[in-house]
């Protein structure tokens, strides 16, 4: 028995005015998802807890069966891990942006004019060569990931992730000094290191040849690194130990890949998987089918639905759901229905109306040989609320799936 869990990021929504007060799931033409609802068991799921808007990281931890409130230790380290940075358990990592600041360190553009990968790579090389004088005793790694994004990883003894962000989060405000959040020696030391590093980065970036060329071409110079989301790698028992399974993830976003790596899952890279609405949905589905040969559990993560909601684009969100539906059709045509479970859900609601993650429950459906079919005929927020799973928590899903796979042990005698 095998299981595939499809997570469409932020797919769940609230009723939308532009869609006649229906949700995108209620609007989209999605024969395969509805087929799943007809033949499976449905329900709604609170990723963390009712009314709590989850991040993609905490929600994915929960959907993998972990207690997110206990294991979560910040976004930076997960993003670093998912981007392939070699991060150690003692490291403190931050999520970074190349940004443009003026001479008073006031932010002019938080993405340095959406700098190209090429320019960002060159600038990352410049700042990686920096040597810090003094007796702070630490090493650092700075790597750019996609466009303006990057990760900063601080390595040394007596560090702490309980420090604030340098990113003020909006233009027109001055870069913030990183501060200790608990007033302890470790966090004060970490804040001092990061503040010193960021100023050194600024000095080097400001005179970097790439930036001089950018200014000549009329582009914004990437003269500052903004950092946020300090974190360390959470210590969790890998899925392979908890359920005796081989697990893999097919996805493109560093954050979700980082969570999966922490859970001990293998990451499967797919050509054409971009984490954007233009991603190759069928290529990802094909990768899942190939992975079924060697894995018991595969998580297929699709980011595009969340992107459409943050961009507050109802039409795009409906189109993406229809593309996901086609990819599911491909999956359904290739799996052995007697030997596989297929589950589809969202990691949270991302509201087209607010452009934010919200705390509403998300729909969930599970198909497979031994599920108790219910009377639900459509896969959407309101239909699934009448389903046989009723209302479950995010962390209930993995035990339910693993029990269907025969991978759970009896509690008691
Ligand atoms: Zn998400
Ligand atoms: Zn989001």
Ligand 1 center–CA 221 separation, angstroms: 31
- 372 and 282 inside one domain: yes
Ligand nearest to the backbone CA of 48: 1
Strands 340-345 vs 2-8: parallel, antiparallel or unpaired: parallel
Query: pLDDT at position 279, please?
Result: 84
Query: pLDDT at position 121, please?
Result: 96
- Domain assignment present for 411: no
Share of the chain above pLDDT 70, in %: 99
Ligand nearest to the backbone CA of 55: 1
Ligand nearest to the backbone CA of 306: 2
The C-alpha atoms of residue 201 and residue 207 are separated, in whole angstroms, by 10
Strands 340-345 vs 297-302: parallel, antiparallel or unpaired: unpaired
Query: pLDDT at position 35, please?
Result: 98
Nearest of 138, 113, 133 to residue 123 by alpha carbon: 113
More confident residue, 272 or 332: 332
How large is the C-alpha radius of gyration of the chain?
22
Query: pLDDT at position 89, please?
Result: 84
With bands split at pLDDT 50, 70 and 90, how would you rate the model's confidence at 135? Answer: low
CATH number at 378 reads 3.40.720.10
- Domain assignment present for 351: yes
Ligand 1 center–CA 299 separation, angstroms: 14
CA separation, residue 353 to residues 17, 22, 380 (Å): 8, 12, 18
CA separation, residue 188 to residues 152, 161, 342 (Å): 18, 10, 48
Ligand 2 center–CA 407 separation, angstroms: 32
With bands split at pLDDT 50, 70 and 90, how would you rate the model's confidence at 133? Answer: low
Query: pLDDT at position 92, please?
Result: 95
Nearest of 238, 255, 224, 251 to residue 80 by alpha carbon: 255
Ligand nearest to the backbone CA of 394: 1
Ligand nearest to the backbone CA of 9: 1
Question: Is the pLDDT confidence value at 309 over 70?
Answer: yes
- 197 and 246 inside one domain: no
pLDDT single digits (tens) 358-387: 999 999 999 999 999 999 999 999 999 999
pLDDT single digits (tens) 108-122: 999 999 899 999 999
CA-angle at 298, arms to 143 and 405, nearest 5°: 145
Q: What is the pTM of this model?
A: 0.90
- Ion ligand 2: residues, Cβ under 5 Å: 306
Ligand 1 center–CA 356 separation, angstroms: 10
Name the domain count of the chain.
Answer: 2
- 33 and 166 inside one domain: no
Ligand 2 center–CA 310 separation, angstroms: 7
Ligand nearest to the backbone CA of 348: 1
Query: pLDDT at position 146, please?
Result: 83
Write the CB contacts of 285 (distance below 8 Å, at least 6 apart in sequence): 300, 327, 328, 330, 331
Ligand 2 center–CA 281 separation, angstroms: 19
Question: Is the pLDDT confidence value at 132 over 80?
Answer: no
Q: What is the H or E stretch that residue 392 is in?
A: strand 390-393
Q: What is the H or E stretch that residue 151 is in?
A: strand 149-155
Ligand nearest to the backbone CA of 253: 1
Ligand nearest to the backbone CA of 346: 1
- 216 and 244 inside one domain: no
Ligand nearest to the backbone CA of 62: 1
What is the overall mean pLDDT for the chain? 95
Length of the chain (residues): 413
Token pair 């050509």 in the structure block, residue: 271
The C-alpha atoms of residue 227 and residue 151 are separated, in whole angstroms, by 8
Question: Is the pLDDT confidence value at 272 over 90?
Answer: no
- 117 and 163 inside one domain: yes
Ligand 2 center–CA 291 separation, angstroms: 27
With bands split at pLDDT 50, 70 and 90, how would you rate the model's confidence at 406? Answer: very high
Alpha-carbon dihedral sign for residues 277, 97, 162, 51: negative
The C-alpha atoms of residue 14 and residue 365 are separated, in whole angstroms, by 18
pLDDT single digits (tens) 143-163: 998 889 999 999 998 999 999
- 240 and 389 inside one domain: yes
Share of the chain above pLDDT 90, in %: 88
- 359 and 374 inside one domain: yes
Ligand 2 center–CA 292 separation, angstroms: 28
């Amino acid at each position: 028995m095998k299981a595939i869990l499809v997570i469409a990021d932020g797919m769940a929504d609230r009723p939308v005015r532009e869609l006649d007060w229906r949700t995108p799931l209620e609007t989209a033409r999605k024969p395969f998802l509805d087929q799943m609802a007809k033949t499976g068991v449905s329900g709604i799921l609170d990723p963390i807890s009712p009314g709590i808007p989850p991040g993609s990281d905490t929600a994915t931890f929960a959907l993998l069966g972990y207690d997110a409130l206990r294991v979560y230790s910040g976004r930076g380290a997960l993003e670093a891990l998912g981007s392939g940075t070699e991060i150690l358990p003692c490291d403190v990592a931050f999520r970074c942006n190349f940004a443009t600041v003026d001479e008073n360190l006031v932010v002019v553009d938080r993405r340095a004019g959406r700098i190209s990968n090429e320019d960002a790579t060159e600038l990352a090389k410049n700042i990686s060569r920096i040597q810090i004088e003094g007796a702070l005793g630490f090493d650092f790694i700075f790597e750019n990931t996609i466009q303006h994004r990057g990760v900063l990883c601080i390595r040394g003894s007596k560090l702490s992730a309980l420090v604030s962000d340098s990113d003020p989060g909006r233009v027109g405000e001055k870069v913030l000094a990183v501060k200790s959040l608990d007033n302890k020696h470790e966090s004060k030391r970490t804040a001092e290191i990061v503040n010193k590093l960021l100023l050194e980065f600024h000095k080097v970036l400001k005179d970097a040849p790439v930036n001089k060329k950018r200014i000549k071409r009329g582009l914004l110079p990437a003269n500052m690194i903004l950092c946020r989301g300090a974190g360390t790698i959470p210590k969790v028992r890998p899925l392979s130990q908890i359920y005796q399974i081989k697990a893999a993830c097919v996805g493109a976003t560093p954050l979700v890949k980082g969570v999966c790596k922490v859970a001990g899952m293998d990451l499967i890279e797919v050509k054409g998987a971009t984490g954007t609405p233009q991603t190759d949905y069928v290529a990802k589905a094909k990768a899942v089918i190939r992975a079924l040969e060697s894995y018991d559990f595969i998580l297929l993560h699709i980011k595009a639905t969340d992107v459409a909601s943050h961009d507050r684009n109802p039409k795009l969100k409906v189109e993406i759901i229809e593309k996901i539906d086609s990819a599911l059709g491909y999956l359904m045509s290739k799996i052995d229905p007697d030997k596989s479970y297929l589950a589809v859900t969202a990691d949270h609601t991302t509201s087209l109306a607010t452009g934010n993650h919200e705390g509403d429950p998300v729909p969930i459906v599970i198909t497979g040989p031994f599920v108790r079919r219910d009377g639900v005929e459509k896969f959407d927020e309101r239909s699934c609320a009448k389903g046989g799973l009723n209302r479950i928590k995010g962390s209930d899903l993995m035990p339910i799936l693993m029990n269907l796979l025969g991978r759970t042990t009896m509690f008691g005698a």
